Amino acid sequence: MAAMEGVPDTFIAASDQEQVTGELPTRLRLLCVGSSEPSWVSLTLQLDALGCVEPNFKWVPTANEALALLRDESFDCLLVRVNPGRQGPADDPLGLARGIRAGGCADPIVVVTVTTDDDIWAEALRLNVDLLVSAKGWESSALVPAIQRAVDRGRMLHEIDRLAAADRRRLVRERDEAEYLLSQQKQILAAVEHLAAPVPPAGVASVTSDIRERLKLPAEFDDYYQELLRAYVIMGSGNLAAEIVKLADLLSVAGLTPREVLDLHLARVERLVRGLGNRSTRHVMARADLLALELMIHLGECYQRQLTLATAGSAAATVGHPGDGPGEAL
C-alpha cells in the first residue's frame, strides 16, 4: 500500500484501532532516527497541546548511532523514518527495529514509511512496532497520535510484565509457605509419636509393628486417597461427605490412630503440592486442611462409638456373671 500526496495519512498500529486515551509523560524522551532532522517547533507545539510541556528530543542520522545511544539511555518512544528517496523494493524499513529488539530494548517504536506490504505488517506485529504510512514523514499530522498510541501501549505492556513478575513471586512465596507448613505439621506428628511411644518392659518385644503389619492398608488405598484428595481440592466437601464417613469407618476398623491417619494425609498432600507446577498452592493447602479436619472429626466419632460399644459390652458381661461380685465369697 503506497501513500501519495492528497491521500490522508494512515496510521497502522500493531494492535487494535481504538482511540488513544492515555496521557503522555510531561517530560517525554523521544529519539528520532532519520536522514533529516525533524521540525522540533511543530512537534513541540503538538505535544504541548497534549500536556507534554517539557519534551526531551534527540536525533541521530544513522542506525549505528541509534544503537550506540540505546546502549546507555532509554526513551519513552523511538521514531524511525525510512528515507523516502532511497526506499525501494529491496529496502527493509524494519531493519533497525529488528536490531533494537535483538539488543533487548523494549522501548516503543514507530516506523515512518511511505509504503508497506503484508510481510512488513506481519513483521511489525511480531516486533511490537507501530507503522505510520505517510509520504509527509516528520510533518505527518498522524505522527503525534502515533507517538501517543505507542507510549500508551508500551506503558500497558510494562504493567503486564510487572504483574506477571509479581505473580511469579507470589507463586514462589506460596510454594515456600506450603513447604514450611508441611514441615511444621510433620514436626508436630513426630513430637506426638515420641511422647506416645510406649516403653515395653525388659525382655518383652513391642507388638506395635506386628499390629501395623496385620492391619496394613491395601495397595489400592494409596491411589484411592490421592484421588479423593484431588476431588476435595476441586469440589470441596459437597457430595464427598458420605465418602469421607466411609473412609473414617475403614480407618477406624483398621485400627489406625489419628496421628497415623494425619501422617498418611500429609504424605499425599506433599505429593500433590509438588505436582502443581506453576499453579497456586494456597487453595490446595486450605482445602487439604479442611479434608484433614473433616476426616479427623469423623474418625473421632468412630472411635467414640467403638468405645461406647466396648463399655456397654463390658458392663453387660459384668452383670451376666454375678459370681465375680464381692457377695459370692460369703
Residue 89 reports pLDDT greater than 90: no
Domain edges within the chain: 10-162, 209-314
Residue in the structure block whose three cell numbers are 473421632: 300
Per-residue confidence (pLDDT) for residue 14, from 0 to 100: 45
How is residue 92 written as a grid cell?
A: 527493509
| Check whether domain 10-162 has CATH 3.20.20.105, yes or no | no
Full-model pTM? 0.60
Per-residue confidence (pLDDT) for residue 178, from 0 to 100: 85
> With pLDDT > 90 as the criterion, what percentage of the chain qualifies?
12
Q: What is the tens place of the pLDDT at every residue in 232-264? A: 988 887 788 889 999 998 888 888 888 888 888
Per-residue confidence (pLDDT) for residue 19, from 0 to 100: 37
Residues of the chain by 3-state class (helix, strand, coil), percent to 5: 60, 10, 30
Higher-pLDDT residue of 322, 51: 51
Query: Burial level of 278, CB count in 10 A (0-12/13-18/19+)?
Result: exposed
**Pairing mode, strands 56-60 and 29-33:** parallel
φ, ψ of residue 324 in degrees (nearest 5): -85, -10
Query: Burial level of 110, CB count in 10 A (0-12/13-18/19+)?
Result: buried
Q: What is the tens place of the pLDDT at every residue in 92-110? A: 678 888 888 888 888 899 9
CA distance 145 to 12: 11
**Pairing mode, strands 130-133 and 56-60:** unpaired
How is residue 199 written as a grid cell?
A: 516403653
How is residue 24 written as a grid cell?
A: 503522555
In the structure, what pLDDT confidence band is assigned to residue 35 with cuts at 50, 70 and 90? confident
Q: What is the tens place of the pLDDT at every residue in 280-316? A: 788 888 899 999 999 999 998 888 888 888 787 777 7
Per-residue confidence (pLDDT) for residue 216, from 0 to 100: 63
